[in-house]
Structure 1
């Protein structure tokens, strides 16, 4: 008798977490075979597919792509990972989180396919990716936007051929799986590119291996600062790039958009999203672009909640960006940091990048086998001469302690992990209930 399938999303997720011997198992053979059994590779997933890879900036690029596409009247599906609070955040259909029923139907379809023949073991992420792709395929949208989970070439998302491949940044992260050689990391991330299809490079400082991979494949490169540029640093910035071209060759005259709003997210990523959408055969309209960039929302990225700034940054590259944003918006009081990180992340690099703008630290422990304790973080901080104000047993406990310590002109940066921000977001609503979320994107980085 076959095992009964779960009847709730939580039960499904618990089952998936326990099903595979390791949490991360890079490689496409197993997941591609199940995708074939599901029929996912027999037809296009969507009218157009944009896949986004990179160390940092993937989430903001995806969010702006979705907002821009919807402002131009396109139907959309967006798959991202990880989530902050609810698993449903990972799949968005026409701008709305997928409901439990849609996600569970996808998981059931994967389960049937992986057992239809020689059983195939899949990781939590692989089942989630295939389930999301199955849900998207039930009603193919005009545009599917897929975010790579880890690396690129061997990531489960990469079983789908994109019409446009985007590489945002390349830096060290996930060293246990991707190593520390930036050229090799670049090759892995560039593995989402396809022959003859445009590749958008969203950073001025990518390793040479990214372009080398594109050249070997014959993928036309559209790089920031070359094929497309941005001018300005805030409100009223301008974008110049390659206009839509159904051949993807970039032969159309340059497109130009002016007086664009600050989305409160990195402008390089906004410029990259504009170029990727244009190469996906969308003729950019300035009013639609302004509307999208003014209204885009992305929880956990420079998200201000009163005195609290929440960001999922968890590597030195992201931390450097955070420090620059905070430095550009000084406050009259102290800037404190609630820091909680996983054990496989570069804590010393993150601390060094943030230290110039932080007056006091509250390290917190995370739960789980990959967790790093508050005591370990505190030792690293004190070894640098940093001020450790409190050692918290969890990010939630750190919030409770900090609420009692904050002056009216102080602010708190919460960072270090998706897990950190995911625990703090709902806790702020209950512990600091009088503080309201700042929903004005343009003012998220303004010091309270």
Structure 2
């Protein structure tokens, strides 16, 4: 490896080093990352016998989590790459259900740096270097299946240097408008950039713009759409149980009933099952039931005592929260603790949540993109909400609420990965009088 003025050793040092490598945090494009990937040998052979790539505005994380859980329940060795993380960078790379340890990630970053400086130096963003490290870890893990989550967009996202055997688009909505714009048809084309010629494209929403299917058709990619080639329906008389119908690649139908509610969107569960069938997995009912009954995903409608944590940061995600947020017990108040980035549709999120939340605590997020609590407060008041407190940080917002909560109060903490991460990193108060666990606690 060429000499550096500074040689990182720990994972923390590597992550700090990565932040200095490129003049901007996000720069879409595949030329630089592909060149380094070729030097690393990542493009000379598949990173796994099968690769599933997941793109979309919302639902990527839950779809990936269910693909992973169901495949592992059938004995497959699965590796996943996701972003962002909540508490530890290691969350981004998982092998056989376990987070990558520091040593493996450090080895990966050493490989990236060696290739980056081989010959003419190539500049990489933090995300690009992390993606190459993650792909190297997966390529060396002797997997049956690799599942990759697109970071931003699709066509020009670093993950898209890998050819997907099965490509999923979950939903299309406005987000990252500074990079993807506001035209849903164009956003759809960007997400559909992960499709490949003659390889299955799975469309996981009833409301995708026509541009997504058009991109698949232009590539002659077999298209499997929710509500057409695969579907789900509630089972009559069976509380929370549902039935899935899908298609094998040869057109043969497959049906699995008596499936449990995974606590995640059923559209995404159905999409995960269809994708695995196309990947060649023979689904067994009992294994699917076990996998969906035990799947967990931090920060997605995650309950900790009276706190519901959800990373939703656009109106489409907020709509799901509104539909699934249970009412607090009688006499309790539904609070909202919100912290957002200023490049999101703040008004759209607040307007959507306002139908269920009238009492708010606003928190500031740090960094150039962080929105100040005072700005959030003005937006909420404009939509008719009551703001009780503005805090300098999510932690400070929790501290204030700790003095206010009663046993029957509930709190939705939302608006950003950063907001939820801050709350997950600390104990959360259960109220002025502790919950006794006899039914007050909602799961």
Q: Structure 2-normalised TM-score?
A: 0.95
Structure 1 residue 429: Cα displacement: 5.1
**Any idea what the Cα deviations from partners look like across 1:299-323, whole Å, max 9, x if unmatched?**
0000000100000000000001101
> Partner of 1:398 in structure 2?
397
Contact 2:312–2:318 under 8 Å retained in 1: yes
> Partner of 1:241 in structure 2?
246
Contact 1:203–1:224 under 8 Å retained in 2: yes
- 3-state SS of 1:210 partner: helix
CA distance in 2, matches of 1:136, 1:177: 28
Structure 1 residue 361: Cα displacement: 0.6
Match of 1:331 among 326, 329, 332: 329
CA distance in 2, matches of 1:331, 1:339: 22
The ranges of structure 1 where at least 4 consecutive aligned residues each deviate by more than 4 angstroms after the TM superposition are: 429-436
> Partner of 2:68 in structure 1?
66
Indicate whether 1:2 and 2:7 are aligned.
Answer: no
Comparing 27-36 with 381-390, which one deviates more in the overlay? 381-390
CA 142–150 in structure 1, closer or farther in 2 if over 3 Å, else same:
same
**Any idea what the Cα deviations from partners look like across 1:117-150, whole Å, max 9, x if unmatched?**
1100000000000001111111230000000000
> Partner of 1:92 in structure 2?
94
**Any idea what the Cα deviations from partners look like across 1:253-277, whole Å, max 9, x if unmatched?**
2000000010000000000000001
- 3-state SS of 2:337 partner: strand
Match of 1:178 among 163, 173, 180: 180
Structure 1 residue 434: Cα displacement: 10
Once superposed, what is the RMSD of the aligned Cα atoms?
1.9
> Partner of 2:127 in structure 1?
125
Structure 1 residue 359: Cα displacement: 2.6
> Partner of 1:223 in structure 2?
225
> Partner of 2:358 in structure 1?
359
Contact 1:329–1:447 under 8 Å retained in 2: no
Give structure 2 stretches of 5+ with no counterpart: none
- 3-state SS of 2:19 partner: helix
CA 122–221 in structure 1, closer or farther in 2 if over 3 Å, else same:
same
Comparing 226-235 with 7-16, which one deviates more in the overlay? 226-235
Structure 1 residue 352: Cα displacement: 0.4
Q: Structure 1-normalised TM-score?
A: 0.94
- 3-state SS of 1:357 partner: coil
- 3-state SS of 1:390 partner: strand
> Partner of 2:349 in structure 1?
350
> Partner of 2:277 in structure 1?
278
Match of 1:201 among 200, 203, 206: 203
> Partner of 1:321 in structure 2?
320
CA 310–434 in structure 1, closer or farther in 2 if over 3 Å, else same:
farther
> Partner of 1:428 in structure 2?
427
- 3-state SS of 1:11 partner: helix
Comparing 226-235 with 289-298, which one deviates more in the overlay? 226-235
- 3-state SS of 2:290 partner: helix
> How many positions carry a matched residue from both structures?
435
CA distance in 1, matches of 2:21, 2:413: 33
- 3-state SS of 2:256 partner: strand
Indicate whether 1:139 and 2:141 are aligned.
Answer: yes
Match of 2:169 among 167, 170, 173: 167
> Partner of 2:31 in structure 1?
29
Indicate whether 1:56 and 2:58 are aligned.
Answer: yes
> Partner of 2:412 in structure 1?
413
- 3-state SS of 2:389 partner: coil
CA distance in 1, matches of 2:118, 2:220: 37
Structure 1 residue 252: Cα displacement: 3.5
Indicate whether 1:17 and 2:19 are aligned.
Answer: yes
CA distance in 2, matches of 1:390, 1:62: 37
CA distance in 1, matches of 2:141, 2:154: 26
Indicate whether 1:265 and 2:264 are aligned.
Answer: yes
Comparing 134-143 with 64-73, which one deviates more in the overlay? 134-143
Structure 1 residue 2: Cα displacement: 3.0
**Any idea what the Cα deviations from partners look like across 1:224-268, whole Å, max 9, x if unmatched?**
00000000186210000013xxxxxx2242000000010000000
> Partner of 2:309 in structure 1?
310
